[in-house]
């Protein structure tokens, strides 16, 4: 399935591979600061998940199984790598990364979950997708009206992160947001209980969507980042990269 996805890449071909999975309504281009920071040391693979970026859209009959299709895409990316990878995911991408690490532990030597979406095993309530779709449409409209400079000025993130975040919004499939939100049939508790890959859970001090700390297992190290919201690496980049790079270096040692 990987041949169907758009995959953004950076870094030397012979460097260790990091696969990074974006959140809902973002795209694989939404890691510009990470790609710049890691451009000499990592081969970064950043797919546009289905219904995002320039990857394929979901057909109407696929909406009910969108989570499984996305999961299959991630597993296919891992299976295509000749060596185990570092797997990173944010929000929706974090939920997918967790599932993939459980399914393919031999393909993942380290897992980083940035405020991962709390998978319940059930479809998201319809009003969640509707409300989020309205927000995405609003940002898309502003991008279409040439308000990028204003969006950047209003943001607390870097200009590069804000620009790519905004540009990804018109690329999201609206029907997916309205009808297809599903993180899969396995809940967080079940997945964490089965997890064997060394894992870093990076959560914000506020506005977290991750599950409560009581569900963290012995293989998971949790770091709470102060003065950060859901997009931790954008809100507090130095704290995020310090935690992630320290963790990855320890796992490679």
The predicted-structure confidence for 33-44, as pLDDT tens digits, reads as follows: 999 999 999 999
Q: Is the pLDDT of residue 16 over 80?
A: yes
pLDDT at 24: 96
* Structural domain contains residue 133: no
* Structural domain contains residue 143: no
Q: Is the pLDDT of residue 1 over 60?
A: no
* Structural domain contains residue 49: yes
**Tens digit of each residue's pLDDT (9 = 90 or more) over 144-203:** 999 999 999 999 999 999 999 999 999 999 999 998 888 877 888 889 999 999 999 999
pLDDT averaged over every residue in the chain? 93
* Structural domain contains residue 201: yes
* Structural domain contains residue 138: no
* Structural domain contains residue 163: no
Whole-prediction pTM value?
A: 0.95
Q: Is the pLDDT of residue 124 over 70?
A: no
Tell me the DSSP string of the chain: -GGGS-EEEES-TTSPEEEEE--TT--TTS-HHHHHHTTTT-EEEEEPPTTSTTSPPPPGGGGGGHHHHHHHHHHHHHHT-SS-EEEEEETHHHHHHHHHHHH-GGGEEEEEEES-----SSPPPHHHHHHHHHHHHHHHHHHHTT-HHHHHHH-SS-HHHHHHHHHHGGGS-HHHHHH-----SS-HHHHHHH--S-EEEEEESSS--SPPGGG--TTEEEEEETT--S-HHHHSHHHHHHHHHHHHHHHH-
* Structural domain contains residue 224: yes
Q: How many domains does the chain have?
A: 1
Q: In CATH, what number is assigned to the domain containing residue 19?
A: 3.40.50.1820
């Amino acid at each position: 399935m990987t041949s169907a996805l758009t995959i953004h890449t950076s870094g030397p071909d012979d460097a260790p591979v990091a696969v990074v999975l974006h959140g809902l309504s973002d795209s694989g281009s939404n890691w510009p600061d990470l790609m710049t920071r890691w451009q000499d040391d990592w081969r970064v693979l950043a797919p546009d998940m289905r219904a995002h970026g320039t990857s394929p859209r979901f057909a109407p009959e696929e909406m009910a199984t969108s989570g499984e299709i996305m999961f299959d895409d991630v597993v296919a990316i891992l299976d295509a790598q000749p060596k185990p990878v570092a797997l990173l995911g944010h929000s929706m991408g974090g939920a997918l990364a967790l599932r993939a690490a459980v399914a393919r532990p031999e393909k993942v030597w380290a897992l980083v979950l940035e405020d991962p979406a709390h998978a319940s095993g059930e479809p998201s309530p319809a009003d969640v997708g509707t409300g989020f779709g309205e927000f995405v449409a609003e940002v898309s409209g502003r991008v279409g009206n040439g308000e990028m400079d204003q969006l950047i000025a209003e943001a607390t993130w870097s200009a590069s992160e804000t620009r790519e975040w905004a540009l990804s919004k018109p690329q999201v499939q609206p029907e997916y947001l309205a009808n297809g939100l599903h993180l899969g049939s396995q809940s967080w508790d079940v997945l964490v209980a089965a997890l064997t890959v060394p894992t870093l859970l990076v959560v914000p001090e506020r506005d977290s969507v991750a599950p409560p700390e009581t569900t963290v297992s012995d293989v998971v190290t949790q770091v709470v980042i102060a003065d950060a919201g859901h997009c931790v690496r954008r809100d507090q980049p130095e704290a995020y990269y310090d935690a992630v790079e320290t963790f990855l270096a320890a796992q490679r040692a």
